[in-house]
């Protein structure tokens, strides 16, 4: 009997150890980002319904619960208190009309706000109602609400709030409060006419969140609009409105509550290949004062992974008046610093050509924040090799001094030095590289599929490079605590 019992206990122990190993591996797969958001499994794309309430950032997103490919859209849901560690929540919005179709009546993109004045009359206690606006594909623009801080959602009985029109292809409602007119404003992608050239953004207003009235239309946009009011950082008495397109490009202009008037040409906000469906969080407290943006890193490849897709790092956006005009500036949120572990620092160094001069030879790993300022001196070009190995060349980040071009992963961007110096902040995750040049004036966001290498090489070609200062931080996994 004792032998049988011992054998039984051994089997249980092996089973428990295997289960524990699988649980630890769940968010530690080879190409799983370690400080960017991903769902546990399956396809995801556009961020939706970004709203802050009662200490929590809500991130909803386009999600296919059935597989790793696009389609059958629901709203996935995650909650965070620091924009980095996300608690995965149950699916928030399901397709309408009990649809099982790949597209028809599925829950496409949208936004969310806090019903501060209980306009929907759904608030039962002190918890404010959260309201989500979304496109039910081919079934109109619709509304859902939550009275329990976003944990469960109820769809408005009188949906749709804007009926489906087969001619206008309307989708992706973003709703904001316009203080000056004391009305809610919806920016909605649609075609003004059947002419493809009329693709753009229509503006609607409402006083009760249910009845919406069309006011104006602007051409030249496609999908996932966003409208943000920003204070000019170096002109604190001045404010501008920024109207975003689906690819993150934007116009700077004026908005009177009904009509947007561009005051700039269309400007590209990210120069990489994988930044799409940008959205900002609503209801950020005034004491915080930040405007925080995130995007889906479209086109990433995650071979062999149980999930498909990742978000960009949440970033603070601001508007600055430069000598050449107004421009959006974007930088990672300050919360990223809480993930910093091992730190290596170099200052006032001179780098000469030759791999033996590599200052960063002691840096090894796969997740880093690199912050550097470089004096170009006599260098023809300089850069980093990321995830370099003995048998495989790493991914190259290069700045061509003579041409003034920064290149990474087939993205080449002009970047102008300031006083013959270049500032770079680089975020390296297991499947992405994001570069913020010259304090966020130029940003490049790209996904990549690295090899097995773990080395980092800083090099210069053609002449000397001054390392004014360089800080390399290893970033711990946002799942590290879960694995203890």
Q: Could you read off the pLDDT of 145-196 as tens digits, one per residue?
A: 999 999 999 999 999 999 999 999 999 999 999 999 999 999 999 999 989 9
> Is residue 344 within 8 Å of 105, Cβ to Cβ?
no
- Which pLDDT band, with edges at 50, 70 and 90, does 483 fall under? very low
- Which pLDDT band, with edges at 50, 70 and 90, does 13 fall under? very low
Which residues, including other chains, have CB under 8 Å from residue 161's CB and lie 6 or more apart? 133, 140, 141, 142, 143, 210, 211, 212
What phi and psi values does residue 83 have, to the nearest 5 degrees? 70, 5
Q: Could you read off the pLDDT of 107-137 as tens digits, one per residue? A: 999 999 999 999 999 998 999 999 999 999 9
Instruction: State yes or no: pLDDT of 390 exceeds 90.
Output: no
Q: Could you read off the pLDDT of 259-282 as tens digits, one per residue? A: 999 999 999 999 999 999 999 999
Q: Count CB neighbours of 29 within 10 A.
A: 15
> Is residue 326 within 8 Å of 320, Cβ to Cβ?
yes
Q: Could you read off the pLDDT of 410-431 as tens digits, one per residue? A: 999 999 999 999 999 999 999 9
- For a pLDDT cut of 90, what percent of the chain falls above it? 89
What was the pLDDT predicted at 26?
A: 84
Backbone conformation region of residue 234, classed left if phi is above 0, alpha if psi is from -120 to 50, else beta? alpha
Q: What is the mean pLDDT of residues 361-368?
A: 91
**Burial zone of 465 (CB within 10 Å; 0-12 exposed, 13-18 middle, 19+ buried):** buried
Evaluate whether 37-332 and 336-483 have a shared fold.
no
Indicate the average pLDDT of the chain: 93
What was the pLDDT predicted at 11?
A: 44
Fold for the domain defined by 37-332: Tachylectin-2; Chain A (2.115.10)
What was the pLDDT predicted at 313?
A: 98
User: Of residues 46, 115, 168, 270, which has the active-site annotation?
Assistant: 46
Instruction: State yes or no: pLDDT of 5 exceeds 70.
Output: no
Fold for the domain defined by 336-483: Jelly Rolls (2.60.120)
What was the pLDDT predicted at 43?
A: 98
- Which pLDDT band, with edges at 50, 70 and 90, does 22 fall under? low
Q: What is the mean pLDDT of residues 229-256?
A: 97
The pair of structure tokens assigned to 187 is 């920016």
The residue among 58, 112, 108 whose CA lies nearest residue 87 is: 58
Whether 46 is catalytic: yes
């Amino acid at each position: 009997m004792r032998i049988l019992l011992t054998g039984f206990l051994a089997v249980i122990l092996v089973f428990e150890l295997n289960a524990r190993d699988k649980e630890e591996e769940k968010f530690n797969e080879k190409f799983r980002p370690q400080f960017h958001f991903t769902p546990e499994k399956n396809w995801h794309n556009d961020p939706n319904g970004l709203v802050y309430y009662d200490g929590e950032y809500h991130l909803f997103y386009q999600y296919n619960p059935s597989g790793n490919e696009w389609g059958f859209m629901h709203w996935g849901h995650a909650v965070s208190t620091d924009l980095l560690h996300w608690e995965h929540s149950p699916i928030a919005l399901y397709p309408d009309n009990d649809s099982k179709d790949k597209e028809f009546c599925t829950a496409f993109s949208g936004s969310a706000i806090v019903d501060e004045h209980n306009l929907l009359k759904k608030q039962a206690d002190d918890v404010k109602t959260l309201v989500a606006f979304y496109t039910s594909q081919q079934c109109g623009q619709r509304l859902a609400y939550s009275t329990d801080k976003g944990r469960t959602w109820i769809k408005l009985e009188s949906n749709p709030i804007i009926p489906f029109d087969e001619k206008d292809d309307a989708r992706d409602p973003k709703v904001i409060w316009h203080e000056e007119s004391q009305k809610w404003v919806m920016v909605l992608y649609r075609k003004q006419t059947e002419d493809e050239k009329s693709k753009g953004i229509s503006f609607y207003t409402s006083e009760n969140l249910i009845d919406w009235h069309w006011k104006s239309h602007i051409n030249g946009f496609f999908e996932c609009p966003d409208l943000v009011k920003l204070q000019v950082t170096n002109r604190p008495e001045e404010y501008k409105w920024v109207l975003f397109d689906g690819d993150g490009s934007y116009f700077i202009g004026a908005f009177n509550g009904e009509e947007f008037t561009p005051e700039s040409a269309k400007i590209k906000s990210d120069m990489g290949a994988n930044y799409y469906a940008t959205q900002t969080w609503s209801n950020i407290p005034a004491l915080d004062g930040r405007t925080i943006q995130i995007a889906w890193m479209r086109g990433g490849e995650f071979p062999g992974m149980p999930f498909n897709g990742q978000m960009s790092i949440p970033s603070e956006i601001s508007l600055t008046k430069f000598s050449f005009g107004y421009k959006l500036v974007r930088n990672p949120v300050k919360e990223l610093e809480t993930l910093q572990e091992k730190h290596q620092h170099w200052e006032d160094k001179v780098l000469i050509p030759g791999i033996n001069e590599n200052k960063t030879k002691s840096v090894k790993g796969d997740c880093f924040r690199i912050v550097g300022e470089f004096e170009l001196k006599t260098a023809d070009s300089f850069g980093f090799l990321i995830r370099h190995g003995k048998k495989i060349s790493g991914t190259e980040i290069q700045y061509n001094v003579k041409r003034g071009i920064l290149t990474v992963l087939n993205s080449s961007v002009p970047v102008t030095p300031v006083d013959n110096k270049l500032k770079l902040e680089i975020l390296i995750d297991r499947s992405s590289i994001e570069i913020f040049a010259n304090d966020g004036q130029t940003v490049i966001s790209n996904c990549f599929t690295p090899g097995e290498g773990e080395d980092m090489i800083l090099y210069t070609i053609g002449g000397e490079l001054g390392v004014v200062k360089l800080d390399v931080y290893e970033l711990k996994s946002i799942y590290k605590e879960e694995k203890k």
